[in-house]
Structure 1
């Protein structure tokens, strides 16, 4: 009976291994996300891990290349809603392994030159470089509060082989020419090599820009080697400059938010409660049980913008109240009733309200 039990246990082990092989790689585990993760959570996880696991940063690890390909394949499958449905139902086999090698997803997040991981960036050598491109990217205050991924279609000139040769690597050298017996002349001449000819062909490429919570107006987001090409050198960089769009309810100053609230005269006199919709959909509950005068201010701590360096820290929300006075004329009885209710003598004061500004 003991031997029979061992046989059964061995058969079960073989079955489990077979199921794992047929199921393929666990893409959720590779990315470190749950099966309920949103597309943005998947993108954030990939972007974070891709910087840590890139082979250029792990040159002493023989398995780095394979792990990086697995990471790219996981992102490629789970970031696409149609592929994700197939994967959830049939596993990697349902997608076809031949089409799941990770592709070129890394460059869509970081650009085409990975030298910034360890000494290979084109700014560190003497090769010529194409021009940098700076583009404004309009972003909503909601995106700067909660974060988002924005896809930008980039048309980039790419060098392709062409017929013939061209002059390249041109430089100035001292050339000695013999004029006759014992007579020589030295002069500067431009000397060039013959290189294969190339032509620039426009290609489109989708770039993924992560708007991180707390980013500020004017902050730049770089893509290495995605700028203007250079026929004999490296392409320049592409930099997106964040441009915060004007918001209908909030004004941002640093990490603080400011807004104005108009209330009725009745609310101003007897107090009120209200909910203010915030940038991510949650509401800020306001309670005021005392008289509110025009220009009165209220501070709600930790309801401002997240700090870019530490998203757990948030600024303040400042509210300035305006009073919507009723229109029309009061009767003499209503006036007298107000005088008795407010018990306030008539008093006027004339002064320079701009003093101190």
Structure 2
């Protein structure tokens, strides 16, 4: 990766490296809502910012990725790939490092130390030419790969420890509703319809590789569904809020209500109050592995007009002058 390709994920979110996980999540949700394509239809700049914010969060919300990013900067992806040493018995030729010649380095950490001027620091395993700390050296397996216990980013796996890997992945509500495919470090993976925040998707045989036994664990994708400006979750159901006018509330009405797959004509009975909900059965969220849907709850919000025409004002004044209903008639009984 060239230096000009480096993305400062902290700057993209408007944070610094000391930001906590909660701060990162809170800022991400705010920016994701601001630049969401549904909130900015046709705005290519907002769409690009939305993708940047999503990419930054995907890295900084994952503790392992963030650790690599903080340690290696623009080379964090290569470091994550090599695990601190060169793959394939010490050869760096299997990983794309943007045209840099790594034959002079014994490990990725050694390259980073040299790049940052840390080789002279005398840390174990930080140099070649007789500077290795042999007390920490551990001979590799049949492939001849040797490792150093103090390699930053290299995990010395004990027998029986898990090779499984967990990676955070962010989806728009539309992607989670319909299902989609996403590219991760190990390749393209399919996301089934109906996943929600907290869902885990198992991708068999795509986890960490044991360099000695060649066994490979599984990859688990931990899902976070990005906030949507109209639909939210209420347990397994979807919920949305629809505004209606005072006359529609009094007389009842038939209106078009957005649903995930398109608008639906919904008839509201007379006398609806703000906060009441109508349940549209089978119009909510897909149930994973089932050909069923949860319910869509349509919550009512009565919204008075901010501006009135002369005839509208006259009609409201006549209603007010002739109204017999008093919703506050029993409040006098509430005095202590």
Q: TM-score, normalised on structure 1?
A: 0.42
Pick 1 or 2: higher relative contact order, CA cutoff 8 A, min separation 6: 1
Q: TM-score, normalised on structure 2?
A: 0.44
Greater strand proportion: 1
